[in-house]
Structure 1
Amino acid sequence: MATPLTADRLLKALHDEGVTVVEVGDWRTHNRNKVGVFGPVNGSMVHHTVTKGTAATVAICRDGYADLPGPLCHGVIAKNGRVHLVGWGRANHAGGGDPRVLDQVVAEDYDTRPTPPTRGNTNGVDGNARFYGWECENLGDGNDPWPAAQYNAIVRVQAALCRAHGWTAKSVIGHLEWSSDKIDPRGFGMPALRADVAERLTHPASWSPDDEAPQSEEDTDMTPAQEALLKKLAADVAELKKQQAVAPWAYRNAKLDAESRAAGRRIPDMHGRIEQLQTTLDALTKAVAELKNRA
């Protein structure tokens, strides 16, 4: 159990973790504390919004609607990876859930998933008091993509909270793991997300996966795409040279068939293609050599 972070501590934790934050209005004091407590907190919960468009999503998550007043979470994680903070304190996001799941999260004691919940929003224990909540902009239909920037932000936000509280990744759950009548988030697996959060927690908060990308002397001067293009050009040149060597023989044969004559007519064009590819290959090779000499 832990005392909820203050708004200032949350901002610092998110910024330290490399999260791009957008502060929405009076988010620091926008909450549902008048109807119930917030804390002690035991974990962080991930949701999808079933909405499209960041502006509309942020508005509804901040303000809520007639039957469910806002805030509906603490932050909205948009498609572009920006995290819009809309409230701090008690928020209407978790609803009722399974007390066995809460016990497992408190103890951080379960395998790859908590026990499947058998209680839901109407007959479960209060989750709004015990979990931070993060709504992620997504239609939730299993087809709407999760851009890398957004998924990366989800991982960073959860890692920031775990790091601040000294939790492991097992304090991060999805709404579907809490309540028997929920399916979110849909489109990625919570065990995989927890694994990515756990990996991040083995590094400093400022860490980026790109910082430790494997490199060798051969590829330090080229991106993978550039290296692949260079290899493809070399293969194309080799193949065209092979075809060029065969085609003239067929062209000179006294008993030419239709296919051989067609191949012969392609020889001038093939020569041009070879010269063009060879020129490009030579230029790329020269550029790579110059980069290595400067290194």
Structure 2
Amino acid sequence: MAIPLSADALTSALRAEGVTVVEHDDWRDHNRNHKGAWGPVNGVVIHHTVTSGSAATVEICYDGYDSLPGPLCHGVITKDGKVHLVGNGRANHAGSGDGDVLQAVIEERATLPAPNENDTDGNVHFYGFECENLGDGKDPWPDVQLETMVRASAALCRAHGWTARSVIGHKEWTNTKVDPRGFTMADFRNRVATHLSTPVSTSPSAPTYQTFPGAEWFKKNPKSPIVTAMGKRLVANGCSAYASGPGPQWTEADRKSYAKWQSKLGYTGSSADGWPGAKSWAALKVPFTKEV
């Protein structure tokens, strides 16, 4: 049982395990927290997506459907071995499952009971990774994808002090699902346990570039060295609307300058409104700063 990781702690934990992280759109503020509790968390659920095509899969998991709004997980693990973060908070992924299974996960028992009663809200208690695969038992699982699935699961276990027994398949949570297909969860947990037996650096080097703080962060008119670093990159790219500065206080000049950057990247209309998005932010390559 644990408090959910913050967005920064989650990205740090994943990267410490050697995972390539892609921050999708406004994932840091994307959740279903208005529909129910998020946490305490007790484990990780592994899913398959029943989709093909990485870009489309990520968009589906971010947006969801009319009948099941997104995010549909916290991270999408694509066949190229990348983790695309699409949600931070409660997500529509686990659904209802068996409370006896939850208790077994909490106690980290060696054997899980077969799911029977769907009497417990799993979206409260589990992180979820949707893994790109058709789920027909024939679609292959590339080694690079499986390795990332193992590392991503281990990252959360290590961050919370859990063992590999805190990682379960969706089909182990509820009797209404069959995912994931194509490998056994027993073998998968063995791989996670093996990975956890190898320590990671406790002092990872700082990233080269600043992670995307989220669109809502900018709309709160922040005062931060990140704003200054961003402004300097905009000026360097010929996208200045500044009369003075830039930074550290976010101003209308920052928004107008960022709109110039978005237009330079080919965005138009509401996509070039000056409010930073994850893709344009990544392209800007704002230098990392420890001070926020």
**Shared fold, TM over 0.5:** yes
User: What residue number does 1:140 align with?
Assistant: 135
- Contact 1:74/1:88 (8 A) holds in 2: yes
User: What residue number does 2:236 align with?
Assistant: none
User: What residue number does 1:181 align with?
Assistant: 176
> What is the distance in 1 between the residues matched to 2:189 and 2:133?
19
Which deviations, in whole Å up to 9, do the C-alpha atoms of 1:51-81 show, x marking residues without a partner?
Answer: 0000110000000011000000000000000
User: Is 1:191 matched with 2:186?
Assistant: yes
- Contact 1:74/1:132 (8 A) holds in 2: yes
Say which one has the larger Rg: 1
Matches within 5 A, 1:276-291: none
User: What residue number does 1:110 align with?
Assistant: 110
User: What residue number does 1:119 align with?
Assistant: 117
User: What residue number does 1:68 align with?
Assistant: 68
Higher share in helix: 1
- How far residue 109 of structure 1 moved from its aligned partner, in angstroms, is 1.4
User: What residue number does 2:13 align with?
Assistant: 13
User: Is 1:54 matched with 2:57?
Assistant: no
- Contact 1:18/1:205 (8 A) holds in 2: no
- Contact 1:160/1:205 (8 A) holds in 2: no
Matches within 5 A, 1:157-236: 157-205=152-200
> What is the distance in 1 between the residues matched to 2:107 and 2:161?
13
User: What residue number does 2:250 align with?
Assistant: none
> What is the distance in 2 between the residues matched to 1:138 and 1:89?
24
Report the residue type matching 2:26 in the other structure. D
Report the residue type matching 1:117 in the other structure. P
Report the residue type matching 1:163 in the other structure. R
> What is the distance in 2 between the residues matched to 1:87 and 1:165?
19
Q: CA RMSD in A?
A: 0.8
What 5-or-longer segments of structure 1 have no aligned partner? 207-295
User: What residue number does 1:82 align with?
Assistant: 82
> What is the distance in 2 between the residues matched to 1:118 and 1:179?
7
User: What residue number does 2:125 align with?
Assistant: 130
Report the residue type matching 1:130 in the other structure. H
User: How does the TM-score come out when normalised to structure 2?
Assistant: 0.68
Report the residue type matching 2:72 in the other structure. L
Which deviations, in whole Å up to 9, do the C-alpha atoms of 1:206-227 show, x marking residues without a partner?
Answer: 6xxxxxxxxxxxxxxxxxxxxx
Report the residue type matching 2:184 in the other structure. G
- Contact 1:101/1:115 (8 A) holds in 2: yes
Which deviations, in whole Å up to 9, do the C-alpha atoms of 1:188-233 show, x marking residues without a partner?
Answer: 1000000000011110236xxxxxxxxxxxxxxxxxxxxxxxxxxx
